[in-house]
Structure formats: C-alpha cells, structure tokens
C-alpha cells in the first residue's frame, strides 16, 4: 500500500508544478504583450509627435532672436521661439527652425540694451526656396542634413519658461548654427554663388590696416613734411611693433575676408618691401622744379597695390566694476585710388564678457556679427561697378618753361591738349572722363574722374602710372615729345612734357 501513496503524492506535486509553470508563462506573456504595447504606443506617439512637428514645419512658425553669448568661429548663437500646441513638439522643432531662419529670415539686433547685432539671411531671394524645393525637402526631413549645422545649448532644454498663448505654447531654445559651413554647402549645391562667380571681372585685393583714429588714440602717428607743411599720418610700422593686439585684429579680419574668397595683401609684408627698397623716396622732383609729394601712406599704397583698404578700429570698456569688458568695433572700406568710402560697419558694441575669458578675435567676430555679409556685398557691388565703368583717377599735365607754346602747341593742325584729350577718350572705359581744366597760360591741365580699366589687354592690373605710360609712349613715338612721368599713390599721375 505504501508505494501507491507515494505515487499519488508525486502526481499531485507534478500537477502543482505544471500549474505554477503555467501561471509563470501566462505572467510572462502578459508582460511581453504589455511591453510590445508600450513600444507600439511609444512609436505611435513619436510618430504622431513627428507628424505634428512636420505639420508645424510646413508653416515655419517660429521667431528668431539674437542671443547673449559668444558663438564659435563662423557660427551664430540664436534663441528660437517655436510655436505648437505641444511644448515637446515645439522643442523638437527648434533645430529645424533655427537653420531655416538663418537661411531665409535672418534676425534683428537685440533691443535689450546689449546691442547684439542682427544678421541678414543667407538667401535673400525667397523664390529659391521653391526653386530648390527638392533639395530643401530632403534637407529639412527627419534626420535630414540640417542636423549637421546645428547644436543645442543646455542639451536642448528651454532657457526660459515656455509662454502659453491661447491653446499653444511658445518655447525658447538656445541654438548654435554653423553659418559659414551652411554657406559653403549652399555654394556647393549651386544655390548661392561663390564670390569669385559673382564678380564677372577682377576680384578686389584687400589690405587691412588700423584706422587713423585708432593710431591717433594709441600714439602711433608720424610727421610728414609735405613741401614745408607738416602733416600727421599713421605710423603702421611702429603700431605693429608696439601692439600685439593689432596683429591679432588684422589676422582676424584677414581670415574672415579670405573665407569669402577675397585676395589679400599683408600690411607687415608690404612695409618690409618698402624698407628693403632703399631707392624709394617720399619726394620725387622734376627738373623744372615741379614736385609731386608722396606721403608714407601714398608710398605704401603704390607698393602694396591693394584695391581696397579696410580700416579697422576698436576699443574696450570695463563693465561691472572691471570684472567684465565689452568691445566696440567698426570698420570702413576705402578705394585705395580715390579714398572714397565704399562699405562700412558702424560702431557696434558686443556683449560684455568676463575679463578672464575675453578673447579679442572672438569678441571682434561677435561684434561684427551679421553685419559682415552686408559689408562684403556692398564691397562687391562697388567693385562690380568698377569692372563695368572703370576706376576714377586724377591726371595733371604740365609743360617745361622752355616749351614755348605749352599745351597750345600745334601738331598736324591739332593743339597738344586736344591730342592728349583724344588719347584719353580712346583709352578710358566708355570714353568717360571729367572736363579738362586748362590754365590761361596753357602750361597746365588737370583732368579728374578719368575712368581707366582695372586691367590692360594682357590681364595685368592698371594703376594711374602704368595706364599713363601709353600716353607717354604715344607722345614720344608719334610726335617726338619727351616727358617725365610720376605718380602719387595709385590714383594720381603727373606728366611733365618737354623733357625728362
């Protein structure tokens, strides 16, 4: 009988174990189904959120604002306010909205007293958004390439409390956008033209120098004796030797200009060239006693042969008891031939930074901010006009005292001044030049606004002196008239007729 009892007990235990195993399997199945439901629900929620985000993106409902803080080189730091009925959805849209804003909208300068500069959009022609719709649809798609050009400050968390407006939220997120890299991408795609492609002719050569005002404030002036009259001009050599900040400031702007494709001339290298050429004199005198005086600046312009001088100026101001410092910056572009201001960035004060973190290059770039692109566009627009209309120079024609009838001397029935005027008309852009001013004695003639080509037929750059060599050769070869040719800087020439 005992074995039968043992068998019955074993059978009962087996049933209990099977029931326990069944319950465990059922529990696991329920948990598994719940997990799957959660995943599906989460995926559906994410899909719905993305759908809502994409719907918001279609309407591009956001505001872009200049933000406090220093962005890395070539970047913009902005606060993007995104609108949505779901605060989380608005947060998701911040990156897309910021990149879209930099491309098509830009943003104004701050109005909170910090005077943070604004920025123009990279693409000013909104038609291009439709024209290149295929590219931008892919670019701004979920996980699209826009992500390569944006990063979030503070892990993408709102830097201020979201604002409830009716049934919607307005959510602020700080974002850094890689503006320079974005521009390069648009150039690669053919959406934006490169600087060298915009220019149909010669690109302007740039040289960056400190302004006369900056040199004066910092004690870097020198005296120039202009025919007995003292004049004060910048002493660039002394400034470079004495101020380490100046080299940093020039290199900062040189880098920005080079990134836009502008060819550069270096101030320090040009000064060394002048110093090594011992034959260079600031005063060149003709045999007749007439003189053309060149200041050190005129000589530098003639030697460097830069088309445009970009004059920079800056100063720092202590803030909050000296623990912080702000930088005020300005720059102007001048035609090296005529001293005409062709583009500029007005004095702009960047945000204050702690003195322990203050870096001049970053502070300068921050102060220029979105004004640099308009500066370059103005510069290019001016130079494009020079390509079409020629650059303006001034010429002065004199005669020796022994040249009997002066400019009224006749050759083959034409007076000498008429022969010169005809040559000028045939060798200027579209025959453009100002009305000649001839002295009553006939021994002096001045012509201003003489529009000469930027380059000769061989593609070589022309300045006033090199252009006038053609006139000098014509007078010698056709009329056996010798002359003395000299220049002042790049944009003024003097031709003394009747001998060397």
Mean pLDDT, residues 113-136:
83
pLDDT tens sequence across 146-179: 999 999 888 778 888 888 888 888 889 999 999 8
Position 52 pLDDT exceeds 70:
no
Backbone angles phi, psi at 107, to 5 degrees: -155, 150
At a CB cut-off of 8 Å and minimum separation 6, what does 395 contact?
A: 424, 446, 447, 450, 464, 468, 492, 493, 494, 495
Fold of 390-497: Gyrase A; domain 2 (3.30.1360)
Name the pTM for this structure.
0.71
The helix/strand/coil state of 122 is coil
Arithmetic mean of pLDDT, 463-492: 93
Give CA–CA dist 491/306, Å, rounded: 12
Q: How far does CA 467 lie from the centroid of its chain?
A: 31
pLDDT given at position 6 = 45
CATH code reported for the domain at 196-386: 3.40.50.10610
CB 378 within 8 Å of CB 342? yes
> Helices 244-259 and 360-368: crossing angle, nearest 10°?
50
Q: List the structure tokens of 193.
A: 């033209």
Best CA proximity match to 99, nearest among 70, 60, 59, 54: 60
Q: Output the average pLDDT for the chain.
A: 83
Write out pLDDT tens, residues 264-299. 999 999 999 888 764 444 334 444 445 567 889 999
């Amino acid at each position: 009988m005992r074995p039968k009892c043992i068998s019955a007990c074993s059978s009962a235990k087996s049933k209990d174990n099977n029931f326990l195993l069944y319950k465990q399997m059922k529990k696991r199945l329920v948990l598994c189904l719940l997990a799957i439901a959660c995943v599906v629900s989460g995926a559906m929620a994410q899909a719905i959120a993305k759908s809502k985000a994409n719907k918001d993106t279609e309407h591009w409902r956001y505001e872009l604002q200049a933000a406090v803080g220093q962005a890395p080189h070539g970047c913009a730091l902005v606060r993007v306010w995104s609108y949505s009925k779901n605060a989380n959805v608005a947060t998701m849209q911040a990156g897309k909205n910021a990149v879209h804003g930099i491309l098509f909208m830009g943003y104004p300068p701050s109005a909170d007293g910090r005077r943070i500069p604004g920025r123009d959009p990279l693409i000013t022609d909104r038609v291009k958004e439709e024209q290149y719709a295929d590219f931008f649809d892919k670019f701004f798609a979920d996980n699209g390439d826009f992500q390569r050009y944006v990063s979030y400050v503070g892990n993408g968390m709102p830097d201020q409390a979201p604002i409830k407006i009716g049934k919607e939220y307005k959510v602020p997120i700080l974002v850094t956008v890689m503006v320079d890299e974005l521009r390069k991408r648009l150039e690669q795609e053919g959406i934006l033209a490169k600087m060298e492609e915009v220019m149909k002719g010669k690109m302007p050569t740039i040289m960056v120098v400190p302004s006369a005002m900056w040199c004066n404030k910092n004690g870097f002036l020198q005296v120039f004796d202009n025919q007995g009259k003292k004049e004060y001009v910048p002493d660039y050599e002394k400034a470079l030797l004495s101020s380490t900040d100046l080299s940093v400031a020039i290199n900062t702007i040189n880098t920005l200009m080079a990134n836009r494709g502008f060819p550069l001339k270096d101030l320090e290298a040009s000064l060394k060239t002048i110093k090594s050429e011992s034959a260079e004199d600031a005063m060149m005198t003709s045999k007749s006693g007439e003189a053309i005086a060149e200041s050190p600046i005129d000589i530098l312009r003639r030697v460097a042969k830069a088309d445009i001088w970009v004059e920079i100026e800056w100063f720092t101001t202590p803030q909050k008891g000296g623990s912080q410092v702000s930088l005020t910056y300005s720059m102007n572009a001048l035609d090296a031939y005529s001293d005409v201001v062709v583009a500029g960035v007005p004095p702009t004060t960047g945000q204050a930074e702690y003195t322990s973190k203050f870096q001049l290059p970053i502070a300068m770039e921050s102060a220029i901010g979105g004004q640099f692109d308009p500066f370059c566009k103005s510069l290019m627009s001016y130079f494009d006009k020079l390509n079409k209309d020629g650059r303006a120079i001034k010429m002065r024609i004199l005669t020796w005292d022994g040249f009997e009838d002066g400019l009224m001397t006749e050759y083959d029935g034409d007076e000498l001044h008429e022969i010169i005027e005809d040559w000028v008309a045939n060798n200027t852009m579209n025959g453009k030049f100002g009305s000649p001013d001839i002295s009553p004695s006939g021994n002096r003639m001045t012509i201003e606004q003489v529009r000469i080509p930027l380059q000769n037929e061989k593609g070589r750059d022309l300045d006033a002196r090199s252009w006038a060599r053609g006139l000098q050769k014509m007078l010698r070869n056709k009329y056996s008239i010798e002359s003395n040719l000299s220049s002042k800087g790049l944009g003024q020439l003097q031709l003394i007729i009747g001998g060397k």
